[in-house]
Amino acid sequence: MPLFPTLFLLVTLDHLVAAMNETAVFTFNGFSGTNLSLDGMATVTPDGLLMLTNGSTALKGHAFYPFPLRFHGASNHVMASFSTAFVFGIIDQYFDVSSQGMAFVVSGSSNFSTALPGHFLGLVNASDNGDASDHLFAVELDTVLNAEFRDIDDNHVGVDVNSLTSVQAASAGYYDDATGSFRNLSLISRKAMQVWVEYDGQAMELNVTMAPVEMPRPKKPLLSTFVDLSAVITDLAYVGFSSSTGIIFSHHYVLGWSFKTNGMAPALNVSMLPALPRTSTNGARTKVLEVVLPISSVLFVLALAAAAVVMAKRRAKFAELREDWEAGFGSHRFAYKDLFYATDGFKDTNVLGKGGFGSVFMGVLPKSKTNVAVKRVSHESRQGMKEFLAEIVSLGRLRHRSVVQLLGYCRRKGELLLVYDYMPNGSLDMYLHDQDKPILGWGQRFKVIKGVASGLLYLHEDWEKAVIHRDIKPSNVLLDAEMNGRLGDFGLARLYDHGTDPNTTHVVGTMGYLAPELGHRAKATPCTDVFAFGVFLLEEDAQGSVAVLVDWVLHHWRNGLIMEAADPRLGSEYVHEEVELVLKLGLLCSHPLASARPSMRRIVQCLDGDIAFKTEHQAMHMDFSMTTLMKDQGFDPDAMEYEQFAFEGFASANLTLDGAAKVTPSGLLALTNDKHTQGHVFFPTPIRFYAASNGTIAASFSATFVFAIISEHAQLSDHGLAFVVAPSSNLSAATGAQYLGLLNISNNGKASNHILAIELDTVLSPEFHDRQQPCRS
């Protein structure tokens, strides 16, 4: 008989015997030339490493001994003992954070095509995890904490039986034979480590031990547990390894492997094992050294290049964005270099204030030594920039004692800088709300009110064009050296010719100061400025939240006690008639119907005493309820209820918090911290979403919020957050991670949850069919 057929027959018979006899044994000191069953990303490298994952994200890889092994005796009732030893190494993209880990596996099948990558380790999916029909036993080396599987930490060894929720787990490490003390090991240390798994079929005792590859096996196992595998592992089962990746690319390697049933697995010859790939940068450094060992002429060239780079960076540092059509605005344009040096490089110590549209810096112009205030505004879009700057330059021609002078502008890529006169006493809101500032007396307040009113009259009617400010509030009223109030910040202002309609289609401004009609018409008019001025008057004269200030003052007026709504900090040093007039004017100006509001000219005349406040403007005739507004807009208020709220920061907000959620001293709502946990925050009382009359018509609703996610790594994030509408604020049964603290593996997808969520997701979860990372849905 020829030689090759004879060898083939012997090899085949040898594997059949391994599957049928009581004992199976094999040893791989490296994997070159081995006949393993591989799928997914798994491959054997040219130098003999078994590479389970190749650096791709959100994929899986498996490697199995090619033939099933027998794990039960002839009676098919006695579970065989077995042991295995293997050397592995994990090399990740980052030193301190990893993708998912790997596992040694005994399974009734080597087909894991339905299993998912990521935290499922390529072993199960969301629907079959925990199913006894899996017949799956695994020892996981897990590098990510998954709350749904009740992982103990993000660096542990676990024993899994038909489920990735481990029956026993321990942090990765070993016990020192000499001292008995525990020594931690990092699974992502990029160093080779050896693992021993031993199962006693009669005693049903499982021991797992690990140590650095150069050490002998420690005497005390890392973890020891009793588990009956007789109903888990089928008579014929496959042994091997599984691994997967998530959003971080990782390489999982097995350097050597031995296995034996009914006995101790043969020891691996560590000296014969292939080495893990080197991750140092010595090669790159060598190439750099070869380049930087030049002759003197090369050094000179490098010096010239460095000088050129410095000059280029300097030019980029002060680069501006200029277009041909800006030539006509020359006298109103400032050089960025001058503004940079004026504000000491826009240092935080020069910040005068911050808002939703930018920060304001104090500066001194280097040539004229003039004090200025510089507002930096993000302005990515170039659409309409020519028209916008034309308006800015036109606003620079405004001249009024109660209007802050807009001196000019500067433009850079993605940034607009507006330069104003500097007001040494800052903004009015500091004196109204800052406990460290002195309280303004009524005389000062009334002078400020009259000044702002005259400034608005100038903008609306007395200048060459009509100007709508669109953001009247105390923080935009600045105080000069004599404590005169001057209206500032014209970044949102729009101007138009007298007798024409203003061309505005976007709602801008500050919540609490926006007139109701802006919600459906989105058109700013002098009447919308009057509404904001009315709220400003009440904030000047009364005390309370802007959101409820109108109702608060109106309630007192209807009860004949309007003076009780006045700011108690005024004490008794005020003119009764003036305070009462300002409160009533504030209510009239903030009327929900635009047609009921007075013009700025009539307001100024009332404040100056030229005309009296009309007697017909009595409390019983001034209906400020939302019902009036809804009827005016064609809605049926009897069939609807409404709820509204606004939080500009959360320093004093009354919210329902749980988990890691908290309000920081600066007023931020922090949903999570740097721990592996979840957090929830809800409005404290439930909101009605159906009409009270029949309970079948769902209400319309809208919400807006500003959020930010800060991660440890710039290009890598943990899971995201969600806006939620739910029938209960108790989500204690929910798990974190990819479930975002909303659901868990058992109730995900059930209609009985009654949960609507807008997720802002930063991790690709294959089981939820996420499209890409990051995503929103």
By annotation, the residues acting in catalysis are 471
Closest CA to 673 of 685, 684, 686, 664: 664
Paired tokens of 579: 């305070």
Dihedral sign, CA of 755, 630, 519, 458?
negative
* Residue labelled with tokens 């009462």: 580
Question: Rounded distance, CA 740 to CA 742, Å?
Answer: 5
The stretches of 21-70 forming alpha helices (DSSP H) are none
Paired tokens of 337: 């270099």
β-bridge partners, 107: 136, 238
Taking each helix axis as running N to C, give the angle between helix 442-457 and helix 576-589, from 0 to 180 degrees, rounded to the nearest 10: 40
DSSP letters spanning 650-680: -TT---EEEET-EE-TTS-EE---SSS--EE
Question: Which residues have C-beta within 8 Å of that of residue 273, sequence separation ≥ 6?
Answer: 29, 30, 87, 192, 213, 255, 256
Angle at 241 between CA 240 and CA 247, to 5 degrees: 165
Asked whether 100 and 117 are in contact (CB, 8 A), the reply is yes
CA of residue 698 relative to chain centroid, distance? 31
The stretches of 190-295 forming alpha helices (DSSP H) are 282-291
Closest CA to 686 of 722, 645, 728: 728
508-536 burial: b if 16+ Cβ within 10 Å, else e: bbbebbbbbbbeebebbbbbbbbbbbbbb
Closest CA to 137 of 182, 194, 204, 183: 204
Q: What is the pairing mode between strands 250-261 and 82-92?
A: antiparallel
The stretches of 381-441 forming alpha helices (DSSP H) are 385-395, 428-433
Query: How many of the other CB atoms lie within 10 Å of CB of 692?
Result: 11
Query: How many of the other CB atoms lie within 10 Å of CB of 674?
Result: 9
H or E element that contains 761 = strand 756-761
User: Annotation-wise, does 375 bind a ligand?
Assistant: yes
Closest CA to 30 of 12, 42, 46: 46
End-to-end CA distance of the chain: 68
* Residue labelled with tokens 């931690």: 184
Asked whether 728 and 132 are in contact (CB, 8 A), the reply is no
The stretches of 318-375 forming alpha helices (DSSP H) are 336-342
The stretches of 507-632 forming alpha helices (DSSP H) are 518-521, 526-541, 549-558, 576-589, 600-608, 626-632
Residue 204: strand, helix, or coil: coil
Residue 470, CB-side half-sphere exposure with 13 Å CA sphere: 22
Paired tokens of 4: 């090759």
Question: Rounded distance, CA 638 to CA 320, Å?
Answer: 57
Question: Rounded distance, CA 271 to CA 250, Å?
Answer: 26
Question: Rounded distance, CA 274 to CA 335, Å?
Answer: 63
Q: What is the CA radius of gyration of the chain?
A: 37
Angle at 601 between CA 596 and CA 602, to 5 degrees: 50
> Based on the number of CB atoms within 10 Å of its own CB, is 483 exposed (0-12), middle (13-18) or buried (19 or more)?
middle
Query: How many of the other CB atoms lie within 10 Å of CB of 203?
Result: 9
What single DSSP character describes residue 621? G
Binding-site positions for ATP: 375
Binding-site positions: 375
